Structure 1
């Protein structure tokens, strides 16, 4: 670890014409300074500017001249506790500030605009120092105290001042958080921000263990003490967030930029950028245990959401977390088989995904035919219960993303999409056995679409493996790219003269591991005959920087089935790449094509659950995983649509 340059600014005593006085800000920077000095030992270089010494000029000079000494391998920390203020934006600022307001730290003699602060911190960061700003102040306009707050709970927000220095009414603000970036155009932000609250929220101070402190500062310092060395800023912010929300419900700390593997995943007070230990974090919040992902990340809500599960990434506890309620940004969970420490943040990974059922509307010329289908759906599940993959919904407002219209005319049923396009050939419907066959097809469609549309949500493995499709006769050429519709199109060639048939396209499919660790990869081929097969790349480890080849390097022939080969014909495939840090169970990814002649199962399909489990396979196969890989179900997926076509004959 290099040198640590820490600048602490805390203002309690404000002149009346600047802002109301506060109580806990100097306590904040005193406690933060003690912790930093104890952690850094002789490596700490510290400067404090309390109260009257914290002028705008002094703070700017200290950032420029004191923090500016930090170089490559050092850490530059700026910690501010005091008032925050919003000021009406005008001119070019309105292009940046979607709230219609600028934000400012309130020093003892006036405002330091966030854009100026950002520019100063960026200059420090460009010298190579790991640059971090901790801001315990409020960025929203309004009164300095909340009339409905508990006694002693003060708001760190100063009202705007007019040109003459007198307070003026707070500007109208559109309540939408805005990313806080540097003031240097499109240049990516190079410093890390840990802020006490969002732009539309207050930041509070209150009594904490017998002294007044900012609730955010006290929570963050407690998180640092509890986590010990090596914790990342992301983990510390998550722990502080849970503590803050246990104290006040309407204050949410902010981490920016929060991208995985970047500044947020560096160790506190120095160290190289690492990867997040888990895709998600478990913490103990005001409503109990919660994981920091929810409906906004694609998790199922409502009935059946309890099928979503997570597993701990570190510690090898063998336990799991089962969802009990999925909210917009978080999932409330129950720990099963282990007892997490509520004082810590625990990295976890998604291991089972609850998938919403497909909906079916039943339209039939006769009530008897409609009753046959409804009864078959109601009894198709385990032990003769309802199918977990299907739900009858006749009203369009109740349709799910995957909806099938079962339309029966005469003795045949057609299964149509929302747009009227058939999913499969018509099926007979004259009795219970036929009705069960129709439901068998509906279930097959639901399972296949569930695989095709499977997403993993945000993952540390996103973009870690690159999938390339290259024409076989141009191995050194550039890979094929999607067209305007997002598909890669490969066409038959030749066949124009001499009666020779057109040639089927041949391609090479390669998987490049761009990460620094071994990764397990599976390449599925999902066809428009509703099949899913891992035959192209059935699950192998690819070393760091290594390349895996579909079919062991043999050419992959793309073709239209012989029965459909004709000018203008085409077929579609969806290549789904699954990447994981451990070998996954491939059984959920295998499906035969839909075949209406296959024997009916007496007790429903072999996979009746509405949960897709992505854990390791049974038995001891995972003992052979390479060193440095984790025995967890962390995973990511990417889907590449592929269309193979036979050109139509020219007139």
Structure 2
């Protein structure tokens, strides 16, 4: 039987004359342990380090010796509730991997545990094949302090606390962590604690009227875990906790990292295989029911936009920048749960499809609509697919007659379905590539700079007359470049860098998503070289080439990048990797989605600067690359 190894660290007493002591951390740990004992009955191995026992050495040793016992199929869970701190990054190594310009650390009873040391420790626990999850209930995604209403308890770094610089433990271009992080708030953002009505989940009643003080995030996460199904994933659990946090506090946004679809975030939290995520989630927030995508994803207006869940449809009443407020139609979802939904109708004009030469039916998708040859609808469509059937082949053509893909066989129902999948894929890919925020106040605040690898002092490469940055092979060696994102604005911005290729694939592995501070710099692949190689389907030789589009999306809040991941189009592989069909059998199409804006205020926990502005601003920028083999 797969086991759950839990290390629960809670620190109220910091031994500083009460000036920095906290009230809710031991309650957090007690409630988390009680929840885990119910959810993992008979397979939980829990170790708690409380107050004075939670030294840096003890925490590090417990991660190695206790969480390190977890093997294949097991879950290793690290839960920290207490103080934290941050300090300015000033070495080259720190500045390369800290785009905010700040380094963070948890504060144990005798000093700091830097996140750059904690990360390798947790990844080490994953080396035996276990699923490793970290829950950090302090701000700055694992570095800051708590406060109560009226008393600021920020812990600035003390002399001698500053640890030596530490590089990330991963080697080579893949520097992604091997553990999943569920953090109470963004970097540089407040998180909170307040009194909740008493319950049997906690062992200390220290609030007014028998209530108990908890971290808002810990309370929300434990409550969401208590109500969730047995196979709840980290992504779904964080979404549920996020909604609960927003019902209580203002300006606190829990964070999931890494959030790439199909990976760590989509494994059942307490054990099990990863599963395909739903592109969208329906949850109950402070303003009622909402789906987590909005104008920044391409939705416009409210009327006509519809999502479908296993329980029934939900219809949009207002589309905001980062979410869509919806009303369930004919059914009542459970307000304490998170529900998977799929987009089933769009308010924006879909791609126009013109058929000629054969009786092919238009696939059922809100991304497509039929149009007549030469009609005004076809002429005015922003995206047009001309499908010409010649014999037993379907040719999918652009306006100028050039092909989107190689001709597709059309000899039966299976081939017709594959043609429909191709049209939907093309529509998805172009919607991502052509996503545009228009005249955004954030336009131009983040630069995408492509430089020759190994020469950081060289000026950024510039596009040629065709608007492309062209790099050439040197003999058999593919060109290497460095890609950096430079925030020239005056506010922190969350950035993701997408790579879209000419095989109609897309992904966010170059820069999966982080905040970059004012004047800060982020590097694709954490500074490792980006290798511009030809795909294996194109033999290396004179005249061979490949095109990529690097698309930056910068926003004031995090983006969920699940629908930005598309496998390169392969006509021999059926299905769309990220499509999801609810029980009703209606097709779903993925979109990008953003986190929600702040909810209601409550007593503060973790003092620090709050990023200015609202979640409504976003901007895009696209850089075209072409890699060629000369001759």
Note the C-alpha offset of 1:628. Answer: 11
- Distance of aligned partners of 1:183 and 1:101 in 2 relative to their CA distance in 1, 3 Å threshold: farther
TM-superposition CA deviations, 1:154-210 (whole Å, max 9, x none): 77x7332232679xxxxxxxxxxxxx9866563322110000001121111110121
Q: Among 178, 189, 205, which residue is 2:177 paired with? A: 189
Aligned to 2:344: 351
Aligned to 1:202: 190
Aligned to 2:240: 239
TM-superposition CA deviations, 1:584-627 (whole Å, max 9, x none): xxxxxxxxxxxxxxxxxxxxxxxxxxxxxxxxxxxxxxxxxxx9
Aligned to 2:100: 99
Determine the C-alpha separation between the residues in 2 that align with 1:357 and 1:73: 44
Note the C-alpha offset of 1:35. Answer: 1.3
Alignment of 1:342-421 (within 5 A): 342-355=335-348
Note the C-alpha offset of 1:444. Answer: 3.6
Aligned to 1:309: 306
TM-superposition CA deviations, 1:418-455 (whole Å, max 9, x none): xxxxxxxxxxxxxxxxxxxxxx9544433x335559xx
Note the C-alpha offset of 1:111. Answer: 0.6
Secondary structure of 1:282's counterpart equals strand
Note the C-alpha offset of 1:226. Answer: 1.3
Aligned to 1:89: 89
Note the C-alpha offset of 1:16. Answer: 2.2
Count of matched residue positions in the alignment of Structure 1 and Structure 2: 386
Q: Is 1:225–2:226 an aligned residue pair? A: yes
Please tell me whether the aligned partners of residues 105 and 144 of structure 2 are also in contact (alpha carbons under 8 angstroms).
Answer: no
Instruction: Considering Cα pairs closer than 8 Å and 6+ residues apart, tell me whether 1 or 2 has the greater RCO.
Output: 2
Please tell me whether the aligned partners of residues 24 and 211 of structure 1 are also in contact (alpha carbons under 8 angstroms).
Answer: yes
- Distance of aligned partners of 1:289 and 1:68 in 2 relative to their CA distance in 1, 3 Å threshold: same
Q: Is 1:162–2:191 an aligned residue pair? A: no
Please tell me whether the aligned partners of residues 140 and 188 of structure 2 are also in contact (alpha carbons under 8 angstroms).
Answer: yes
Please tell me whether the aligned partners of residues 317 and 326 of structure 2 are also in contact (alpha carbons under 8 angstroms).
Answer: yes
- Distance of aligned partners of 1:145 and 1:75 in 2 relative to their CA distance in 1, 3 Å threshold: closer
Determine the C-alpha separation between the residues in 2 that align with 1:3 and 1:22: 32
Aligned to 1:542: none
Q: Is 1:634–2:567 an aligned residue pair? A: no
Note the C-alpha offset of 1:253. Answer: 0.4
TM-superposition CA deviations, 1:184-240 (whole Å, max 9, x none): 563322110000001121111110121110000100111111113121111111010
Please tell me whether the aligned partners of residues 120 and 168 of structure 2 are also in contact (alpha carbons under 8 angstroms).
Answer: no
Secondary structure of 2:135's counterpart equals strand
Determine the C-alpha separation between the residues in 2 that align with 1:79 and 1:294: 33
Determine the C-alpha separation between the residues in 1 that align with 2:21 and 2:14: 5
TM-superposition CA deviations, 1:501-520 (whole Å, max 9, x none): xxxxx965479xxxxxx999
Secondary structure of 1:105's counterpart equals strand
Determine the C-alpha separation between the residues in 2 that align with 1:60 and 1:46: 16
- Distance of aligned partners of 1:163 and 1:97 in 2 relative to their CA distance in 1, 3 Å threshold: same
- Distance of aligned partners of 1:195 and 1:576 in 2 relative to their CA distance in 1, 3 Å threshold: closer
Determine the C-alpha separation between the residues in 2 that align with 1:10 and 1:132: 17
| CA RMSD after TM alignment | 4.1
Q: Structure 2: where are the runs of 5+ without partners?
A: 198-210, 352-373, 387-391, 393-397, 411-416, 427-501, 506-580, 592-631
Determine the C-alpha separation between the residues in 2 that align with 1:251 and 1:103: 18
Q: Is 1:54–2:54 an aligned residue pair? A: yes
Q: Is 1:331–2:324 an aligned residue pair? A: yes
TM-superposition CA deviations, 1:326-368 (whole Å, max 9, x none): 222211111112111111111000011111699xxxxxxxxxx
Q: Is 1:320–2:317 an aligned residue pair? A: no
Secondary structure of 1:289's counterpart equals strand
Which TM-score applies when normalising by structure 1? 0.53
Determine the C-alpha separation between the residues in 2 that align with 1:269 and 1:328: 34
Aligned to 1:530: none
Note the C-alpha offset of 1:635. Answer: 3.1
Please tell me whether the aligned partners of residues 452 and 576 of structure 1 are also in contact (alpha carbons under 8 angstroms).
Answer: no
Aligned to 2:471: none
Note the C-alpha offset of 1:522. Answer: 3.6
Determine the C-alpha separation between the residues in 2 that align with 1:140 and 1:636: 28
Note the C-alpha offset of 1:322. Answer: 1.5
Aligned to 1:169: none
Determine the C-alpha separation between the residues in 2 that align with 1:444 and 1:292: 32
Q: Among 449, 453, 456, which residue is 2:382 paired with? A: 449
Please tell me whether the aligned partners of residues 18 and 109 of structure 1 are also in contact (alpha carbons under 8 angstroms).
Answer: no
Please tell me whether the aligned partners of residues 142 and 158 of structure 1 are also in contact (alpha carbons under 8 angstroms).
Answer: no
Please tell me whether the aligned partners of residues 85 and 106 of structure 1 are also in contact (alpha carbons under 8 angstroms).
Answer: yes
Alignment of 1:219-298 (within 5 A): 219-276=220-277, 278-298=278-298
Determine the C-alpha separation between the residues in 2 that align with 1:357 and 1:634: 14
Give every structure 1 segment of 4 or more consecutive aligned residues whose post-TM-superposition deviation is greater than 4 Å.
140-146, 180-185, 450-453, 487-491, 518-521, 524-527, 574-577, 627-630
Determine the C-alpha separation between the residues in 2 that align with 1:52 and 1:235: 34
Determine the C-alpha separation between the residues in 1 that align with 2:122 and 2:219: 24
- Distance of aligned partners of 1:259 and 1:507 in 2 relative to their CA distance in 1, 3 Å threshold: closer
Secondary structure of 2:47's counterpart equals strand
Determine the C-alpha separation between the residues in 2 that align with 1:258 and 1:16: 38
Determine the C-alpha separation between the residues in 2 that align with 1:110 and 1:121: 19
Alignment of 1:595-610 (within 5 A): none
Note the C-alpha offset of 1:325. Answer: 2.0
Determine the C-alpha separation between the residues in 2 that align with 1:263 and 1:521: 31
Note the C-alpha offset of 1:633. Answer: 2.0
